[in-house]
Chain A
Amino acid sequence: MPIIAVGLNHKSAPVKVRELLSFQHGRAAALLEALRAEQGGENLVLCTCNRTELYHVGSSDRSDLIESLGNHAGLLRADIEDYFYCHHDREAVYHLLRVAAGLDSMVVGEYEILGQVKEAFAAAEKSGSIGAVLSRLFRDALAAGKRVRHETEISQGVFSVGGCAVTLAKAIFGELTGAQVIIVGAGEMAEAVARALASSGADSIFVANRTYEHACRLADQLGGEAIHFEHLASAMRECHVLISSTAAPHHVIDREMVVEVMRARRNKPLFLIDIAVPRDIAPEAGALDGVYLYNIDDLNSVVQQDSQARMKESEKAEKIIHQQAEQFISWLASRAAIPTLQALQEKFETIRTEELQEALRLLPNLSAADRSRIEQLSRAIINKILHLPMTHLRNGAGGQEDIVEMLRQLFNLEEQEKR
Chain B
Amino acid sequence: MNHYEAILVGCSLAAYIATALLYIYQLFGRRAFWGRPTLALLITGLVFHFAYLVARGIFGPGLKLPIANVFETLSFSAWCLVLVFVLVESRWRLTALGAIILPLAFAGLAVSFFALHRESMDTSSANLNLAWLKEHQALLGVHVTLVLMGYAAFMLASCAALAYLLQNAFLKSKRLQGLSRQLPPVQVSDEAAYRLTALGFPIFTLGLVIGVIWAYSTQPKGWALDPKIILSGVTWLVFVIYLHARMASGWKGRKAAALLLAGFCCTVITYVLVGLLKVGWHRFL
Contact = CB atoms under 8 A, between A and B. Distances in A.
Contacts of B252: 266-269, 289-290
B36 interface: no
Interface string B9-51: 0000000000000000000001100000000000000000000
A164 B177 CA distance: 12
A289 B31 CA distance: 29
Contacts of A164: 176
B172 A292 contact: yes
Nearest to A240: B187
Contacts of A301: 174
B181 A156 contact: yes
Interface stretch (A56-64, A123-131, A168-176, A351-359): A168-176
A76 interface: no
Nearest to A167: B176
A158 B176 contact: yes
Contacts, number: 66
Interface in A248-302: 263, 266-269, 286, 289-290, 292, 294, 298, 301-302
B31 A267 contact: no
A292 B171 contact: yes
A294 B252 CA distance: 21
A39 to B, nearest CB: 43
B187 A269 contact: yes
B255 A289 contact: yes
A168 B176 contact: yes
B212 to A, nearest CB: 35
Interface string B170-202: 111011110011011111101000000000000
A266 B250 contact: yes
A274 to B, nearest CB: 13
B174 to A, nearest CB: 5
Given A171-B186, A289-B254, A156 B171 contact: no
A172 B186 contact: yes
Nearest to A286: B172
B251 interface: yes
Given A268-B252, A290-B252, A294-B174, 9 more contacts: A171-B181, A172-B186, A173-B188, A174-B185, A266-B252, A267-B252, A292-B171, A305-B176, A306-B176
Interface of B: 30-31, 167, 170-172, 174-177, 180-181, 183-188, 190, 250-255
9 contacts: A171-B176, A172-B186, A174-B187, A266-B250, A267-B252, A286-B172, A289-B253, A290-B252, A294-B174
Interface of A: 153, 156, 158, 164, 167-168, 170-174, 263, 266-269, 286, 289-290, 292, 294, 298, 301-302, 305-306, 309
